[in-house]
Structure 1
Amino acid sequence: MKSIKGILFIILIMGSSALLWYFATPIEPIHAVNRLSHIIGGMAITCFFLVFLLATRMKILERWFHGLEHVYFYHKCLAIFSLVLVIIHGQLQDLVPDWDKVQETPLSEFAKELGSIGQYGFITLILIALFAKFLKYEHWRIFHRLMLIPYTFGIYHAYFSSRYDLFQPTPLGIFTAITATIGFMSALYMLTMYQDMFFKYKGNITGIEKLGSNVIELELTLDKKIPYRHGQFIFIKIFQDGFEKAPHPFSISGGDGEKIFVTIKALGDFTKNVYESVQLNTPIALDGPFGHLNFDNGTQQQIWIAGGIGITPFLSYLQSQPVDRDIELFYTYHGQDNASYKEFLQAYAKTNQQFSVNFIDTSQTDRLSFENFLVPEKTSIFMCGPEKMVKRFAKQLKSYNTIADIEYESFKIR
């Protein structure tokens, strides 16, 4: 899974910030500790610019980071790194000698106070975000949106309490103005415009089929065709009383673009609500498609690995056309209730000689492992399932097949 362009983009932006602050000339000579504190503080503001930018789900960023789940991984890493930088900046300011502390004006004193408030706000909100798994998704989103407040305080603090004149059109001043503006607008966009601008595919739920005790398939009929590739996913908003207003991601399991299918497993509050309460003709809106799995770009010989509801992106491909390459599917699940589409896969394997499937029911046998599994040359491997599973399999396969071509999508998005 290569995110080289995305990583280089982060290094370029953060490196530029460090160098511009290092070579900038302060308004008057300052102590080395104070200078270092400014560099660290400036990098923290730049880091938050990247955090907000990555949250916009821009298609170009998805391509650079090779998948939206990687965008969110680096989004989280940058948030943690920015928190560390903010704390170091505050600690260094306490070490600045008294002779280097200029007499404060009402404006600079207010900026300093806002900086302190922003620092504690950053720490609190990022710590809350890191414990997202203990929160309901809707509550997590509310706390996440509040991040704009300390970011605004931090920008104000940087401009009005800095020993560098950031209002001048110097390289540092221009860089700070551009990144601060884009960062602020990115956060504001996600708060106010994203929900209306990018959910441009509207439609209704026109079919509901329960495939087991906790799996449901929805048929969505759209007002206009969504140009998706087999293996991709979408964000869905369901406009029904009692449902969260927040969008949730689901893989497309089939359809022609004007009518698509999504298969949902009741794993959390939202998905359980969908399974139990969703109704026909309910309005929906979609954003996407997202995802980088591209079976057509794979080699003639492929290995597919699916965990539970992770079978859905593979179904989209199988249901669209007869396979024209050699595919071996490993489908692992826990209990027959979680073996969605097993009968379809069995029937498909009987009528397509190039396709074979292995069913692994972990309630009856040991869990699937690829330790010492030799992958034939010129074989593409595609995986979809829970994050821990796909990462474990990727590590096992890479340890024995160092040049293996492995692509995967995982469930964890936030």
Structure 2
Amino acid sequence: MKSFKGILFIIIIMCSSALLWYFATPNETISVINKLSHMIAGLAITGFFLVFLLSTRMKFIERWFHGLEHVYVTHKYLAILSLGLVILHGQLQDMVPDWDEVRETHLTELAKDFGELAQNGFIALILIALFAKFLKYEHWRIIHRLLLIPYAFGLYHAYFSSRYDLLQPTPLGIFTASTATIGFMSALYMLTMYQDMRFKHTGKITGIRKIASSAVELELTLDKKLPYRNGQFIFLKIFQEGLEKASHPFSISGGDEQKIFITIKALGDFTKKVNALIQLNTSVAIEGPYGHLNFEAGNQQQLWVAGGVGITPFLSYLKSTPSNQDIELFYTYRGQDDAIHKDFLHDFAKNNPHFKVNFIDTTQMDRLSFEHYMVPADTSIFMCGPKKMVKRFAKQFKTHNRDADLNVEAFKFR
């Protein structure tokens, strides 16, 4: 199940920008190439406004895109598109006829310099961000915040080098001012206020349980209840010396709102340090919950697919009020160290006739595939795991089950 509200919103905003620039009247006659260059620049500014707005993790945005993973994918491609438009604008400006060149003043010279700084800044920061797998999460997050600087330069360039008077209350002027203000404030909010305003739920680590050689389950006792739905995840900050202070996403694997459980698998630098160093009574802060896996809203017949630590959102549902839904789970993992909560799943299946589990250890068995799997009618499919796995299985399911009720949560958030 997907929501197209988010994509429709972006299309409306970008089309509105293009139409406003197309029908706007410049201060004086300009060439067609210059008019096109201005329109491209306007679309770039609008694109970056949307990039910063999507980065705020506002709940209505998550609902419109039906999940933060879809927001982040859109955010990424919007940034690439906007950067391409910035570069195209620069190329078109070099083609503007001599008679159409703007008359140089101190403000326009400065605006031209700022335009070049904005373009170079966007190129450098976005290219670095695209190679996120080579960066620590904290460094990647800082680079994203620095995009505010070239954005500010770009806005100055747009206002003081444009052949359109953007300071007048025309439809184009109002649209540009509104989007520029929201974009700038969104970036400023993420840079200065997000950490203090959004992490309202605080508490301590009151339990630590080693569930595998490379996985640990934490019990978090909060100062006030955190309402959540089974299958959702949170962003967690751990305030302990030696651990990165940036927030990281983790699925809720159980709890009662006042006390919640999360499972952390040693997959990267941060999670490896948590597994090795985490201590009792460490202070934590939480933002969320997020996520759109809604098992209660699914059909009576359900098919679950989990990969590695992707089992955690399913555990939350199984540990809650017993359900009489008919569920078959395919749990794929690489080696016994990757199979977390396996004993719980085995015991649950043994004591619940409505639940069946299939364990697939890819070090001992063939890789799981649904290439020729026919999903029974009126079956809801829920998947959680690494992005590549989820994408591969989704394609396989859709091949023979075009109308399948498919609900997914993927890991990748940068």
Give the TM-score category using the shorter length.
over 0.9
Shift in Å, 1:2: 1.8
The reply to whether residue 242 of structure 1 matches residue 242 of structure 2 is yes
The reply to whether residue 260 of structure 1 matches residue 260 of structure 2 is yes
- Quote the residue 1:334 is aligned against: 334
Q: Is the Cα contact below 8 Å between 1:217 and 1:264 reproduced in 2?
A: yes
TM-score (structure 1 length as normaliser): 0.99
| Deviant stretches of 4+, over 6 Å | none
Separation in structure 2 between the aligned mates of residue 193 and residue 110 of structure 1, nearest angstrom = 31
Bigger mean CA offset, 82-91 vs 341-350: 341-350
Separation in structure 2 between the aligned mates of residue 331 and residue 310 of structure 1, nearest angstrom = 9
- Quote the residue 1:212 is aligned against: 212
In structure 1, stretches of 5+ residues that fail to align are none
- Quote the residue 1:181 is aligned against: 181
The reply to whether residue 354 of structure 1 matches residue 363 of structure 2 is no
Separation in structure 2 between the aligned mates of residue 348 and residue 151 of structure 1, nearest angstrom = 53
- Quote the residue 2:370 is aligned against: 370
Q: What's the C-alpha RMSD, in Å, of the aligned pairs?
A: 0.6
- Quote the residue 2:9 is aligned against: 9
Q: Is the Cα contact below 8 Å between 1:3 and 1:70 reproduced in 2?
A: no
Q: Is the Cα contact below 8 Å between 1:323 and 1:352 reproduced in 2?
A: no
Separation in structure 2 between the aligned mates of residue 196 and residue 120 of structure 1, nearest angstrom = 32
TM-score (structure 2 length as normaliser): 0.99
Separation in structure 2 between the aligned mates of residue 243 and residue 98 of structure 1, nearest angstrom = 58
Shift in Å, 1:321: 1.9
In the alignment, residue 272 of structure 2 is paired with which amino acid? K
Separation in structure 2 between the aligned mates of residue 243 and residue 350 of structure 1, nearest angstrom = 40
Q: Is the Cα contact below 8 Å between 1:236 and 1:248 reproduced in 2?
A: yes
Give the paired residue count: 414
Identity %: 73
For 1:256-287, what per-residue CA distance to the aligned partner results, in whole angstroms no more than 9, with x for missing partners?
Answer: 00000000100001000100001100000000
Q: Is the Cα contact below 8 Å between 1:322 and 1:352 reproduced in 2?
A: no
Q: Secondary structure at the match of 1:221?
A: strand
Q: Is the Cα contact below 8 Å between 1:236 and 1:284 reproduced in 2?
A: yes
- Quote the residue 2:195 is aligned against: 195
Bigger mean CA offset, 96-105 vs 86-95: 96-105
Shift in Å, 1:378: 0.4
- Quote the residue 1:395 is aligned against: 395
Q: Secondary structure at the match of 1:264?
A: strand
The reply to whether residue 160 of structure 1 matches residue 195 of structure 2 is no
Q: Secondary structure at the match of 1:275?
A: helix
Q: Is the Cα contact below 8 Å between 1:212 and 1:340 reproduced in 2?
A: yes
- Quote the residue 2:102 is aligned against: 102
In the alignment, residue 38 of structure 1 is paired with which amino acid? H
Bigger mean CA offset, 95-104 vs 74-83: 95-104
Bigger mean CA offset, 97-106 vs 40-49: 97-106
In the alignment, residue 305 of structure 1 is paired with which amino acid? V
Shift in Å, 1:3: 3.5
For 1:289-311, what per-residue CA distance to the aligned partner results, in whole angstroms no more than 9, with x for missing partners?
Answer: 00000000000000000000000
Q: Secondary structure at the match of 2:212?
A: coil
Separation in structure 2 between the aligned mates of residue 321 and residue 347 of structure 1, nearest angstrom = 16
In the alignment, residue 316 of structure 1 is paired with which amino acid? S
- Quote the residue 1:294 is aligned against: 294
Q: Secondary structure at the match of 1:216?
A: strand
Q: Secondary structure at the match of 2:88?
A: helix
- Quote the residue 1:49 is aligned against: 49
Shift in Å, 1:372: 1.1
Separation in structure 2 between the aligned mates of residue 392 and residue 192 of structure 1, nearest angstrom = 39
For 1:162-216, what per-residue CA distance to the aligned partner results, in whole angstroms no more than 9, with x for missing partners?
Answer: 0000000000000000000000000000001000000000000000011111111
Separation in structure 2 between the aligned mates of residue 350 and residue 218 of structure 1, nearest angstrom = 26
Written as runs of structure 1 = structure 2, the 5 A alignment for 1:57-206 is 57-206=57-206
Shift in Å, 1:159: 0.4
In the alignment, residue 355 of structure 2 is paired with which amino acid? F
For 1:218-248, what per-residue CA distance to the aligned partner results, in whole angstroms no more than 9, with x for missing partners?
Answer: 0000000000000000000000111111100
Separation in structure 2 between the aligned mates of residue 29 and residue 280 of structure 1, nearest angstrom = 70
The reply to whether residue 274 of structure 1 matches residue 288 of structure 2 is no
